[in-house]
Chains A and B, each alone.
Chain A
Amino acid sequence: MLAARKPPVRDGGVISWLRENLFSSVGNTLTTFVVGAVLLYLGVGLLRWIFIEATWGPLWRNLRLLAVYRYPAPLVWRPLSVVAIFIALLGLSAGIARGRGGTIIAGVYWQFAAVVFLITIIALATNWPMRWAWFGVSVAALAGYGLGALVPRLERILLWLWLASLPATIVLIYGLPFAHPTSAMRVVPVREWGGILLTFVLTTGIIPAFPLGIALALGRRSKLPAIKAFCIGVIELVRGAPLITWLFIASLLVPLVFNVEATRIPALLRAYVAIALFATAYMAENVRGGLQSVPRGQYEAAQALGLSSWQMTRLIILPQALRAVIPAIVGQSIGLFKDTSLVFILGLLDLFNVHNVVAQQPESIMVTGGVRLELSLFLCLFYFCFAYRLSVASRQLERHLGVGTR
């Protein structure tokens, strides 16, 4: 008979976790202390800088500039209502998904909602002019979620709602072409757009890239040599040079191609063409990856059923291929979101370029040492907030879809 032994000590609990992960050996313990000390030093330095040494005044005074740049102040409620629509739709989707145990979209929703709530609280506490509009956005966010949770049957029209939000967004931001120049829905010329608003407008370059990219990807896999060669040529040519050169090329070439005065084509349009083109090439490569992941048997089965090649592509291949590349497309969207900062080359004032403008304002230069560090921190926070949360979601999605494990 074996004598009874005590249970192993290293089971659960904080201490055993610490021992295993931080102090498992002499070297490990030493590393922990050294790294911890450095980290503590840096952290304290950062906090000290944020709360004592930094000058936040110029940033605080220029928040509107950073958000929408020169978008007319009385009309700022329009981009804000776009925010409301999106967060409400996100909430609706999250609420509906809740009933089915969907957590990925809920995670994204709750983070963005938390940001909206935080901004609302700050706005209310410091008496922003737009504080009630922000309050409205918060209400919309909660209402969307509540509605989704209470009426899961809305799922049937969810896709249509998302699609409908697109023209609504365009109308809200651009305005109605025939509206009276003093009315609330008057046209706001694109040269007055800027800041965060413009960053998001440019990121939508991924939307036209979607169908075009699918077309190019299908063309690249075509058996017809002329079409295949053309698609390969376009994809590799566009991917061969960096985005900044395409923006530069578009700014020079677009007026020439349409043979009009350079000033007649707004810089935003030229940038958009370049961004959409660039996104298309990368989208095509992503979709191609998805197409390749569809097993050969699926094609053969479709042919055996007597489907035409168009039917086969539409009903069998693409749904599977696109499902597999959703994470990659999210990743690409994040990349594009970050890359919109390159439109400075066209003189467009997106968030990144507005930050340069703010840094060069006389009031900012008067601050000893400038406010570059403060602005950089703000920009980092902004881009990181969106990009990181979406990349986490994309990874969750990847695991959820089981890409690569099937």
Chain B
Amino acid sequence: MASRASRIPSKRERIPFYRNVKVIGTLLQLLFLAVVLIGIFIVYSNISSALQRSNLPASFRFLGDRAGIPIGESAIRYSTSDTYLRALIVGVLNTLRVALLGIVLASLLGVTVGVMRLSKNWLVSRIAGGYVELLRNTPLAVQLVFWFSAVLVPIPPRITNPIELPGGIMFSQVGLALPWLQPSYNFNRWLPWLLGAMAVFVVFYFFQRRRLEHMDRPGRAWRTPLLLFLLIAGGGYVVASLNSSVPEGTVIDFDPDRGRGDVFIDRDGDGRLGRDETPLVGAEVMVRIDEGIIQTNTSNFIESRQMVYSTFRFPALREHEFTSARLEFANPEDAERFDIHVLTFPTVGVIYEDRNGNGEYDPGEEFVAGDGPVAGFGGVPIVLRVEGFERRVITNRDGRFRLPIFESPAVLEAVAEEAEEQQPAGGGGGLGSLFGPPGGAEDEVSELAAAAELLPSGPLVVSVPSVPRSDYTGGVTLSAPYLALLLGLVIYTASFIAEVVRGGILAVPKGQREAAKAVGLSDSQTFRLIVFPQALRIILPPMISQFLNLTKNSSLAILVTFQDFFAISNIVANQTGATIPVILIVIGGYLIISLTFAFILNIVNDKLALVER
């Protein structure tokens, strides 16, 4: 024993440096650092010589250059003449737009499915289980392409034949258009009231909370402040509406022949929207066209995965927008051969040959282009005659409104006269009429009898979508790529959230449920008041990491042609060759997103941590 004890080094004896843990550690770290630094140096020198060799830009200066990238949809004003920096910002906003709405919807769906999985009804719980397993175990990329290329593009009707849902909602291949409250040019009159109301709410809320805490009583601190907020904001709205006025010198530059108009404050008095003149945003305009025609040709196409024959489409008009409408053939000889079968009055229909002579349209009687003389010219010309067309339109953020393009009925008469004049001489009049009005007739064509009138608008205006040509105007549009991305992300992420929710609910001790039952709470009360609040504590942290996943997964937008941050970065890198700067921007962007979520997670964790004795 004594000999053993003597082995313990005395204070004077020192451990040799090569066995000293601290020395070894320091040396190891130095060695490691040296290796890392050498590695970085090699990579750096390789990259810089490669950049020099290929002459690629290595600084961020290119961000100020003109990008020229067409971007389909943007939350802010953007045109191809804007800079790369602005294009990237548009991308960031697009990512946020899809991620934020996606997070809200995915949570709702995820909680629903998660609760369904625990349903006592076997069928319901099995369906929820099947949903989760199916979606978790297939790649998101496959799902996104499915939603976009297999569902949202081929199945809905074309934009010219949108599905109209109650409330002015429209749905087509191009996407979903919803009515929307839009701030008008009078919004500024309401803004101080709104800000004031918010300030009152915040101040009052904290005051109320303090008071309740002080009295040590439970209660809803937000009730009275919310009432105050509504009162002030609502009262302010009424006052602002009464005060609303059209600014001095406002002019409507309405061009009915091109189906559009600009509303702006005309400073130089030339009646046209100049560069430095202010457009009037969110202005309500009542447009009236006393009598007008629209011409189109029938055509064959695939719609909703089906072949559609000799169908014509006019820009959608709603029943209340006109006093009378009539469909007719442009060429009298067509009228002898064909009949019109109206599908949606007055804008969509099929022309058919009544082969069985029953005077009605039967499937199979469509005129199939390819037989007959007119086939080569893209179908049969059809005319829609509209009287008393009236539409309330809202100007967009460029102060512009758009309408279907009407022509004056005089155009037809002029063409008919022309044809009659030429018939005896050449006999080619039939062809001429198909190619549109001949040059000589232009001067004789009278202008459309049209008018546009500015309506007084309050701080907010209701903008209802419409289809002037082959796109939506007014309201808010969720494009097909955006919808596909949103749908894919929400449905995919919800399957993960459902599992989190299920786990969280199951983790609440059984005793809690039994205690709630014993106190006499009903099933729904037990769930709402006892189980869910406790489960939330377990659910929230993993749920937030699912939110992060959703945001990161939105980078797959490129698959559905949605232009998010990553897609635009990709284009920028390809266009400028500024590889390294773009890589840094992309990594930086996503790191900021990740860190933000980590920060939120930490706050939530702190708030949720059980206060233990």
Q: Does A226 contact B (CB under 8 A)?
A: yes
A244 to B552, CA, bound (A): 9
Q: Which residues of A contact B246 (CB under 8 A)?
A: none
Q: Smallest Cβ distance from B168 to chain A, in angstroms? A: 28
The minimal Cβ–Cβ distance linking B524 to chain A, given in whole angstroms, is: 11
List A contacts of B150 (CB < 8 A): 370, 372-373, 375-376
Report the nearest A residue to B595, measured CB to CB. Answer: A240
Known: A22-B123, A257-B47. A341 touches B142 (CB 8 A): yes
Residue A334 at the B interface, CB < 8 A? yes
A224-B28, A226-B29, A372-B154 as given contacts; A244 in contact with B139, CB under 8 Å: no
CB <8 Å contact, B138 and A383: yes
A369 to B304, CA, bound (A): 7
Q: Which of A210-257 contact B (CB under 8 A)?
A: 223-227, 230, 236-237, 239-242, 244-245, 248-249, 252-253, 255-257
**Number of B residues contacting the other chain (C-beta, 8 Å)?**
57
Question: Does B25 have its Cβ within 8 Å of any Cβ on chain A?
Answer: yes
Instruction: With a 10 A CB-CB cut-off, give which of A339, A341, A345 has the most chain B CB atoms.
Output: A341
Q: A245 is contacted by which of B124, B154, B586 (Cβ under 8 Å)?
A: B586
**Chain B residues within 8 Å of A372, by CB:** 145-146, 149-150, 154
Is B46 located at the chain interface by the 8 A CB criterion? Answer: yes
| Contact present for A259 and B47 (CB under 8 Å) | yes
User: Are B305 and A369 within 8 A (Cβ)?
Assistant: yes
Q: Is residue B356 contacting chain A, with contact meaning CB distance below 8 A?
A: no
Asked whether B342 is an interface residue with its Cβ less than 8 Å from the other chain, the reply is no
| Contact among A226, A255, A375, A379 with B50 in the assembled complex (CB-CB below 8 Å) | A255
B-contact bits for A32-66, CB 8 A (1 contact / 0 none): 10011001000000000000000000000000000
B138 to chain A, nearest CB (A): 5
The answer, among A39, A241, A252, A373, for a CB contact under 8 Å with B573, is: A252
User: Are A259's CB and B49's CB within 8 A?
Assistant: yes
Cβ contact of B583, chosen from A21, A249, A355, A370, cutoff 8 A = A249
Cα A258 to Cα B47 with chains together (Å): 8
Chain B CB within 8 A of A125 CB: no
Residues on B with C-beta less than 8 A from A24 are 120-121
Question: In the bound complex, do residue B556 and residue A342 qualify as a contact, i.e. CB atoms below 8 Å apart?
Answer: yes
Give Cα A370 to B148, complex, Å.
13
Q: Does B141 belong to the interface (CB within 8 Å)? A: yes
Is B121's CB under 8 angstroms from A28's CB? yes
In the complex, are the beta carbons of B51 and A342 less than 8 A apart?
no
Q: Which of B29, B120, B139 contacts A352 (CB 8 A)?
A: B139
For the complex, is A391 an interface residue (Cβ under 8 Å from B)?
yes
Contact with B along A339-351 (1 / 0, CB 8 A): 1011011000000
Flag if A21 contacts B586 (CB, 8 Å).
Answer: no
Find chain A residues with CB under 8 A from B136 CB. 387, 391
Give the residues in chain B near A31, CB-CB below 8 Å. 121, 123-124
Interface size of A in residues (CB-CB distance below 8 Å): 57
Check if A368 sits within 8 Å of B302, measured CB to CB: yes
Contacting residue for A334 out of B33, B137, B149, CB 8 A: B137
* CB-based nearest A residue for B551: A242
> Cβ of B278: which chain A residues have Cβ within 8 Å of it?
none
- State the CA gap A28–B43 with chains docked (Å): 65
Find out whether the CB atom of A379 lies under 8 angstroms from the CB atom of B570: no
- Taking the closest CB of chain B, its distance from the CB of A318, in whole angstroms, is 20
Indicate if B590 sits at the interface (CB-CB under 8 A). Answer: yes
Chain A residues positioned under 8 Å from B570 (CB to CB):
248, 345
> Residue on A with the closest CB to B44?
A257
- Chain A residue contacts of B566, Cβ below 8 A: 242, 244-245, 248
In angstroms, Cα B142 to Cα A372, docked, is: 11
CB distance A369 to B586 under 8 Å? no
Residue of A nearest to B125 (CB): A21
Write the nearest CB–CB distance from B371 to chain A, whole angstroms. 20
C-alpha spacing A22/B120, complex, angstroms = 8
A369 engages B154 (CB within 8 Å): yes
What's the Cα separation between A77 and B239 when bound, in Å?
Answer: 81
Docked CA distance A380–B140 (Å): 10
Contacts of B145 in A (CB 8 A): 352, 355-356, 372, 376
Is the pair B306, A369 in contact by a Cβ cutoff of 8 Å?
A: yes
Q: Chain A residues near B46: list those with CB within 8 A.
A: 256-259
Asked if B586 and A230 make an inter-chain contact with CB atoms under 8 angstroms apart, the answer reads: no
In the assembled complex, how far is the CB of residue B39 from the closest CB belonging to chain A, in whole angstroms?
A: 10
Assess the B137–A387 pair: CB atoms within 8 A: yes
Please tell me if the beta carbons of A39 and B51 are within 8 angstroms of each other in the complex: no
Least Cβ distance of B325 to chain A in Å? 32
Neighbouring B residues of A380 by C-beta, 8 Å: 134, 138, 142, 146
Q: Hey, which chain A residues are within 8 Å of B142, CB to CB?
A: 341, 352, 376, 379-380, 383
B182 to chain A, nearest CB (A): 34
Closest Cβ of chain B to A48, distance in Å, is 14
Given the known interface contacts A376-B142, A384-B138, the answer about A237 and B587 at a Cβ–Cβ threshold of 8 Å is yes
Interchain CA distance A249-B50 in the complex, whole Å = 16
Q: Does A388 contact B (CB under 8 A)?
A: yes
Choose among A227, A252, A258, A391 the residue with the greatest number of B CB atoms under 10 Å from its CB.
A252
Nearest B-chain residue to A360, judged by Cβ: B149
Q: Mark B582-600, 1 if CB is under 8 A from A, else 0.
A: 1100110011001100000
Neighbouring B residues of A338 by C-beta, 8 Å:
137-140
A252 and B29 form a contact (CB under 8 A) = no
Tell which of A22, A32, A241, A383 has the most Cβ of chain B within 10 Å. Answer: A241
Q: Are A225 and B586 neighbours in the complex by a CB distance under 8 Å? A: no
A315-357 CB contact bits vs B (8 Å, 1 = yes)? 0000000000000000000100011011011000000100110
Do residues A237 and B302 form an inter-chain contact, with CB atoms below 8 A? no
User: With an 8 A cutoff between CB atoms, is A359 at the interface?
Assistant: yes
A384 touches B587 (CB 8 A): no
Pair A244/B591 contact, Cβ less than 8 Å: no
User: Assuming A39-B127, A240-B594, A369-B302, is B50 touching A256 (CB within 8 A)?
Assistant: yes
Q: Does B250 contact A (CB under 8 A)?
A: no
Q: Is the CB of B579 within 8 A of A253?
A: yes
Contact A35 B149 (CB under 8 A): no
**Is B32 in contact with chain A by the CB < 8 A criterion?**
yes
Q: Which of B97-149 contact A (CB under 8 A)?
A: 120-124, 127, 133-134, 136-142, 145-146, 149
A388 engages B586 (CB within 8 Å): no
Query: Which among B29, B49, B138, B154 is the interface contact of A387 at CB below 8 angstroms?
Result: B138
Asked if B587 and A22 make an inter-chain contact with CB atoms under 8 angstroms apart, the answer reads: no
**Is there contact, CB below 8 Å, between B33 and A226?**
yes
Question: Is A249 in contact with B47, judged by CB distance below 8 angstroms?
Answer: no
Task: Write out, one digit per residue, whether chain B residues 203-215 have a CB within 8 A of any chain A CB (1) or not (0).
Answer: 0000000000000
A225 touching B139 by the CB < 8 A rule?
no
Cα A224 to Cα B30 in complex, Å, equals: 10
> A230 vs B140: C-alpha distance in the bound complex, in angstroms?
32
On whether the beta carbons of B122 and A22 are closer than 8 Å, the reply is yes
Given A31-B121, A368-B302: A227 and B32 within 8 A (CB)?
yes
A248 to B558 Cα, complex, angstroms: 12
Q: Is B555 an interface residue (CB 8 A)?
A: yes
Give chain A interface residues in 86-137, CB to chain B under 8 Å: none
Measured in the bound complex, the distance between the Cα atoms of B125 and A22 in whole Å is 11
Do A224 and B29 have beta carbons less than 8 Å apart? yes
Q: Could you say which of A242, A248, A253, A359 has the most chain B C-beta atoms within 10 Å of its C-beta?
A: A242
**Chain A positions within 8 Å of B580 at CB level:** 256
When the two chains form their complex, are residues B141 and A344 in contact, meaning their CB atoms are under 8 A apart? yes
B452-507 interface with A by 8 A CB criterion: none
In-complex Cβ contact of B552 among A224, A242, A359 (8 A): A242
Give residues 193-228 of B contacting A (CB, 8 Å): none
| New A-B pairs, 10, CB < 8 Å, besides A227-B28, A249-B583, A342-B556 | A28-B120, A224-B29, A240-B591, A241-B586, A242-B566, A248-B570, A368-B302, A369-B302, A369-B306, A372-B154
**10 tightest CB-CB pairs across the interface, nearest first?**
A369-B305, A372-B150, A21-B122, A387-B137, A241-B590, A338-B139, A242-B552, A226-B29, A259-B46, A341-B141
**Cross-chain pairs A/B with CB under 8 angstroms, 23 sampled:** A22-B121, A22-B123, A24-B121, A28-B121, A31-B123, A35-B123, A35-B124, A230-B32, A236-B594, A241-B586, A242-B590, A245-B586, A249-B583, A256-B46, A338-B138, A344-B141, A344-B559, A345-B558, A368-B305, A370-B305, A372-B154, A376-B145, A387-B136
